Amino acid sequence: MPYRLRIGGRDVAAEITARRPQLLLRIGEVRCALESARIAGDEFELTVDGVRYRGYWCAGADEVQVRLNGHTYRVERPRAALAATAAAADEELRASMPGVVVAVHCAVDQQLAAGDKLLTLESMKLQMTLLASHAARVRQVHVAPQAVFERGALLVSFARAGEEP
Amino acid sequence: MIRLESAVSTSSPEFRRRYAHNKALAKELHSRQQAARHVRPARDLERLAAQGKLLPRERLERLLDPATPFLELSTLAANMAYGGESPGASCITGIGVVAGREVLIHADDPSVKGGAWYPLTVKKIVRALDIAIENRLPVVHLCDSAGGQLQWQSALFPDRYMAGRIFRNQCVLSKMGVPQLALVFGHCTAGGAYVPALSEYNVIVRGTGAVFLAGPPLVKAATGEVVSADELGGCDLHTRRSGTCDYPAADEADAIAIGRSVVAQWQRPAKWRTPEQPAEDPLLDPDELYGVIPDDIKHAFDMHEVIGRIVDGSRLHEYKPAYGTTLVCGFAHLWGYRIGVLANNGILFNDSAIKGAHFIELCNQNDTPLVFLQNITGYMVGRDYEAAGITKDGAKMIMAQTCSHVPKLTVMCHGSFGAGNYGMCGRAFDGRLLFAWPNHQIAVMGGEQAASTLAEVKLRQLERSGAAPDPEALARLRAATLEAYEEQTTAYYSTSELWDDGILDPIDTRTALGVALSAALNAPAAARGNGVFRF
Amino acid sequence: MPQRVLIANRGEIACRILRTLRALGIGSVAVYTFEDRSAPHVALADQAVRLEAHAPSAAYLDQAQLIDAARRTGAEAIHPGYGFLAESAAFAERVAAAGLTFIGPDAAVIRLMGDKIRARAFAAEQGVAVAPSARGDGEPAELAARAAAIGFPLLVKAAAGGGGKGMRTVQAAAELADALHAAAEEAQRYFGDARVYLERRIETPRHIEVQVLGDGQGNVVHLFERECSLQRRYQKILEESPAPNLPADKRAAICAAAVRLASAARYRNAGTVEFMLAPGGEFYFLEMNTRLQVEHPVTELVLDVDLVAEQLRLAGGAGLSFAQEDLQPRGHAIECRICAEEPQQDFRPATGRVQVLRVPQGPQLRFDGGIGVGQTVTPAFDSLLAKLIAHGDTRGEAAHSLERALRDLVLLGVPTNIDYLARLLRHPQFLAAELHTGFLEAHAAELREGGGGADAVAAALVALLADVDFRRAAYEVPEPHASIGEWRN
């Protein structure tokens, strides 16, 4: 199973092809032997095909930045879909416990992106702000500030993607 | 340890003839495996593609660690059953490496009749889980099956070792502390729903994965409720409401990545034995095996030639080399592991049988796994040998072999006829894995012998009743017997019925045994002890 | 000299000023917002005062809070740095009214030079050439006539503006009305003053500026010129001193004009007079910046002076430390501005957290930075992270040293223009000093990042090794499977 990287704007597939007697890899079209690798803190030292490389690196959310021989490389690794945890096309947002509405942050017909604020609710002396789990359009907001609701109450309805208003 | 030397002449006509014959058999094996693995009706492949599904072997390759071996078991299961409708018995099983851990993999094959289970599918899965239990291998299930083949239900449902045994085995594995992961790519219906439910961890693909005790058609028939597969038992229902499934996955690649991450969490318990020394390729050329194996089941060959082309450095420490010479016994190394080898160089006599029993005892004392290389037409028969106690001596070998606490592996290198099969750890004797070569034949006795015996019995019958023997009828009886034998004694028939765990190209034997042995050593040794030897 | 100074600024300039304060044994007070609590300037100062505001940059513009902070900590003077309140006449007055010293010129001069229309008129009065220009208000017919008199293309500029804001280029008369409207609206938004004026647009001009110091009595010395032609959207990227290929008489004339202007204004403290040098050799007054500039280090390295120290002395009431003859420039200095941006995304400002920082050292090398490891770069403040300056006996040596230092510099965690600057310093036309304000646009294609880089494979390996799944797959596969490798039966 190849690892997919993006470097210098190009998609590159990387694969381990053998481990003994040396770790052999294929990076894009290039085959190479990784003879030794030491990564400590923010510095690295590799020996690839007999050539030693020394430099610095750091990791961000989706990419690794490498400083090597006076050049900064940004190597992106596509991340596994986090959206899997969100149900696709949730059409209704229902209350998971009773409480009161503190603030409404969305409006009818508003096109939301994943992570946009919907409502701030208060339950059990705890306030929480509910966010849109995925892109959707608000079809209707069923509550107003200071409204008291029960568990299971319908709070917001969304239009399915592609649905006419 | 001495290095075995080759006594075959690679330029002799006999070698050349045998080489051509066995090479052709190997080629036939590969092409039949290729067909069983990949040839599918275009309609089925298109359906899977339209559903956005990967083929089961694509899923498998993504799951496995790169540049690692995968020992596939029983590729040709059901190849002579159901009119060829179920290549591979509609599933893939094998031993591979995932996230650095040895695991047993069971994958439904939805490209064969939607992955529906035939009786031999059930047998293959039960066998795979038995292997997992005996070898303490964690299991990864790749689930995608339409359920049981209803027309075959009486052969796959009711009995002790049928479908229920799969779920029983899952529970036993769990009780042993061996984890299972199920990746739900498609439907898990009825009993099949228990595969993910009884796995410690499971992942379900949104949109195509579904787990339900009854699918939409059955639900409608039972209660009139109309519901889609996804609504009934899809990803969101089971990961958010019912809790039946643990990890939602956006697509198949995501599911596999999550699965690898789960396997990476599992402990790697210490193995019972580790390699004693670095692995070393045999000095003798394994390719020459094709020329060593005879092209006739009745012909013999020297097992030293086989051993020397399988073990590390072609080195063997032969035990009692001058006694009981029809059974070669000795210590060797395979991929660095010490093993005890028993290999037939002829029929078993009194001396070879008791030498075998004694050597098996030595291996048990020494905690050395056993490898049996079978080419046995039987024990010596006749009054003199009975008087000398051949039956007792054969029994002692069977007792020693059965009561071994060390793991046992068997390769059927040529013939396996009659009681010789027993002493040399045939299928019934709980070897961890058993493989066959394409030239292998197995029966209670040879075909000719059986035909002659049956004809002889018939003749005696007719004589006793005073009827006249009918030569034509007798000839027809002989022919019918021979024909049945020809069909039912081949390696392909054996592997079709899952009497073995797969046919190996002889040249792959060394590596297959290495992977098998490494897997076997995940289980601690059984309790020591023997039954009573009849002396 | 004041004995305790509050720096009403942040980032690299706050650190730079703090360095001089420490060297001179003067007490220092830093101010900071919550976002900047781990910034280096906070730790460098003797005291630090936390500012409150609804938005981070607003804090550094809160005059009342700043003066209050000075009072509370006993600071006698406030150094405004550059940007923020550095050119706020109101702030200068308020500081003075509070009995504190504002380290800079008088409010009146700040006000004069801050109004570009008044400043230009003042310059013209001193016999300093200004580019043909005209007021930007009045009847359309008058406007059109004025514009025609200047000639197209022309620029619409904000009277209270700077930094390219409130500025529009007009190619033809038809575009004039829209450009005036857009520029005025932007000027109102940025400067609170919608007044605009028209100015002739010079093609491929060079931006030459002169550093001056005045004692407020009319005595002014110049500290020679700087060339700041390499700009993108009116933001300077790279500056140097002296200006290359500038004939001695031209240099003398420009510097003399700057002195004349500053002297007539009875300028006190440090300031910079900016000019445009046309290809034909004429130069025109652009504006005067009544503060310390970002690029002041190149002057300091070439003349071996500390401008901040001079600012402090002059603020304390002392006279000029040196006479004009004392100032002999030596060698050449080049500075580049290291910014948090992505050159390949049209220099879009970038954010991130600084994770690795390794600064090259050298006797001719100077790094004026305001960031430390672990600090977050946010869109709240501008993207300038640090300046790297190199001095050499010749321009070529300085360029070579600076390019080398850029390659040795390690700054990871937030995207920067470091590699872009290195490419610029290697560019043949740069090395040949064929400079003008359109240089970066003209050579944009050549300055773009080339292919993947020779070491892309090694970089990819580092990224792979940083991934735990890859490391496991590479190193944790047991025997015999690792030795068997890829095998299928």
Per-residue pLDDT tens digits for C177-235: 888 888 888 888 888 888 888 988 888 899 999 999 999 999 999 999 999 999 998 88
B window 224-263, beta carbon within 8 A of C: 260-261
Yes or no, beta carbons of A80 and B258 under 8 Å apart: yes
Nearest chain A residue to C405 by CA: give it. A70
Four-way CATH pick for A3-81: 3.90.870.10, 3.30.700.30, 3.40.1160.10, 3.30.460.80: 3.30.700.30
For residue C164, the tally of other CB atoms under 10 A from its CB is 14
Q: How confident is the model at residue C315 (pLDDT cuts 50, 70, 90)?
A: very high
Listed by start position, the domains of chain A span 3-81, 84-159
Cα separation, B90 vs B87, whole angstroms: 6
Interface contact flag, A84 B67, Cβ < 8 Å: no
Give Cα separations from C90 to B18, C109, C444 (angstroms): 105, 12, 41
Q: Do A15 and B251 touch (CB under 8 A)?
A: no
A18, closest residue in chain B (CA to CA): B67
- B60 and chain A: CB distance < 8 Å anywhere? no
Q: What digits encode the pLDDT tens for the residues C281-313?
A: 999 999 999 999 999 999 999 999 999 999 999
> Rounded to an integer, what distance in angstroms lies between the CA atom of residue C441 and that of residue C232?
7
* pLDDT > 90 in chain C, percent: 74
pLDDT exceeds cutoff 70 at A79: no
- Residues C398-412 have a mean pLDDT of 97
Q: Is A20 on the interface with B (CB under 8 A)?
A: no
Test C485 with B68 for CB contact under 8 angstroms: yes
The rounded mean pLDDT for chain C is 93
Q: Give B39: exposed, middle or buried? Use CB within 10 Å, 0-12, 13-18, 19+.
A: exposed
Confidence at residue C451, expressed as pLDDT on a 0 to 100 scale: 64
Q: Evaluate whether B216 touches B239 at the Cβ level (below 8 Å).
A: no
Are B393 and B501 in contact, with CB atoms under 8 Å apart? Answer: no
- Spell out which residues of chain A touch residue C388, defining contact as CB-CB under 8 Å: none
CATH class of A84-159: mainly beta
- Mean pLDDT within C265-272: 96
Q: Which residue has the higher pLDDT, C159 or B132?
A: B132
Identity of the amino acid at C125? E
Report d(CA C297, CA C307) in Å as an integer.
8
Q: What is the pLDDT of residue A160?
A: 61
Are the C-beta atoms of residues B60 and B72 closer than 8 Å to each other?
Answer: no
Q: Is A88 on the interface with B (CB under 8 A)?
A: yes
Q: What is the pLDDT of residue C160?
A: 84
Q: How far apart are CA B197 and CA B211, in angstroms?
A: 9
Q: Examine domains A3-81 and A84-159 and report if their fold is the same.
A: no
> For the segment B67-91, what is each residue's pLDDT rounded down to a tens digit?
999 999 999 999 999 999 999 999 9
**Inter-chain touch A1–B256, beta carbons under 8 Å:** yes
How far is B335 from B521, CA to CA, in rounded Å?
13
What does the pLDDT average to over B390-394? 91
C457–chain B nearest CA distance, Å? 19
- Beta-carbon count within 10 A of A51 CB: 11
Q: Which residue of B has its CA nearest to A80?
A: B254
Residue B312's nearest CA partner among B328, B332, B292, B339 is: B332
Catalytic position from the list C291, C337, C366, C423: C291
Q: Is C472 within 8 Å of chain A by CB?
A: no
pLDDT of C478 above 70: yes
**Residue B46 pLDDT grade (very low, low, confident, very high; cuts 50, 70, 90):** very high
Mean pLDDT, range A66-81, rounded to an integer = 83
Helix axes C11-23, C307-315, angle to 10 degrees: 70
Cβ contact (<8 Å) for B236 and A88? yes
**In this structure, which topology does domain C4-103 adopt according to CATH?**
Rossmann fold (3.40.50)
Residue A84 has its nearest CB partner, among B64, B65, B206, at: B206
Name the minimum distance, in Å, from the CA of A153 to any CA of chain B.
17
> How long is chain B?
535
Domain boundaries, chain C: 4-103, 132-200, 210-447, 451-489
Query: Which of B254, B258, B281, B335 has the most A C-beta neighbours within 10 Å, making it the best mutation to test the interface with A?
Result: B254
* CB-based contact C478 B100, cutoff 8 Å: yes
Q: Is residue A70 within 8 angstroms of chain C, CB to CB?
A: yes
Does the pLDDT of residue B345 top 90, yes or no?
yes
* DSSP for residue B149: -
Superfamily covering domain C132-200: ATP-grasp fold, A domain (3.30.1490.20)
- Determine which of A82-86, A132-136, C374-378 has the lowest per-residue pLDDT on average: A82-86
Helical H segments across C333-455, by residue range:
395-408, 418-426, 428-431, 439-442, 444-447
Angstrom distances, CA of residue B63 to CA of B55, B252, C471: 12, 11, 16
Yes or no, beta carbons of A14 and C464 under 8 Å apart: yes
pLDDT band of residue C164 (cuts 50, 70, 90) is confident
Least confident of A147-156, C85-94, C158-167, C201-210: C158-167
C137 pLDDT band, cuts 50/70/90, is confident
Q: Which CATH number fits domain C210-447: 3.30.470.20, 3.40.50.920, 3.40.109.10, 3.40.50.740?
A: 3.30.470.20
pTM: 0.81
Type of residue found at C225: E
| Residue of A20, A27, A65 lying closest to C460 (CB–CB) | A27
Number of H helices, E strands in chain A: 0, 16
Residue B41 has a pLDDT of 92
Task: Say what the pLDDT of residue A90 is.
Answer: 61
Tokens of residue C141, six digits: 């017919």
pLDDT in the model for residue A82: 43
Tell me what the mean pLDDT of segment A86-110 comes to.
Answer: 79
pLDDT at A111: 84
Q: What is the pLDDT of residue C453?
A: 63
- What beta strand segments (E) does B279-436 contain? 315-319, 327-334, 337-344, 370-376, 408-417, 433-436
Among A67-76, B221-230, B254-263, C131-140, the least confident range: C131-140
Sign of CA dihedral B399, B402, B407, B412: positive
Dmax over Cα atoms in chain B, in whole Å? 80
Whether the per-residue pLDDT at B533 is higher than 50: the answer is: yes
Tell me what pLDDT residue C192 has.
Answer: 84
In sequence order, what DSSP letters do the residues of B288-333 get, joined into one string? GHHHHS-SSTT----HHHHHTTTSGGGEEEEESTTSSTTEEEEEEE
What does the pLDDT read at residue A88?
47
Collapsed DSSP state (helix, strand, coil) of residue A73:
strand
**How large is the average pLDDT for residues C261-271?**
96
CA distance C359 to C365: 10
User: Is position C291 annotated as part of the catalytic site?
Assistant: yes
| Residue A161 predicted with pLDDT over 60 | no
Looking at residue A80, its pLDDT comes to 52
pLDDT exceeds cutoff 90 at B498: yes
CA distance A106 to chain C (A): 23
pLDDT given for residue C206 in this prediction: 96
Report the 10 Å Cβ neighbour count for C429.
13
pLDDT-derived band at A163, boundaries 50, 70, 90: low
C410 in reach of chain A (CB within 8 A): yes
Q: What is the pLDDT of residue B472?
A: 85
Q: Specify the pLDDT at position B380.
A: 73
How far is the C-alpha of B62 from the C-alpha of C144, rounded, in Å? 71
CA distances from B87 to B55, B60, B118, B121 (A): 15, 17, 11, 10
Amino acid A162: pLDDT: 52
Label residue C404 by pLDDT band (50, 70, 90).
very high
- What percent of chain B lies above the pLDDT cut of 70? 100
The pLDDT of residue A165: 47
CB–CB of B275 and C478 under 8 A? no
CB atoms within 10 A of CB B200: 17
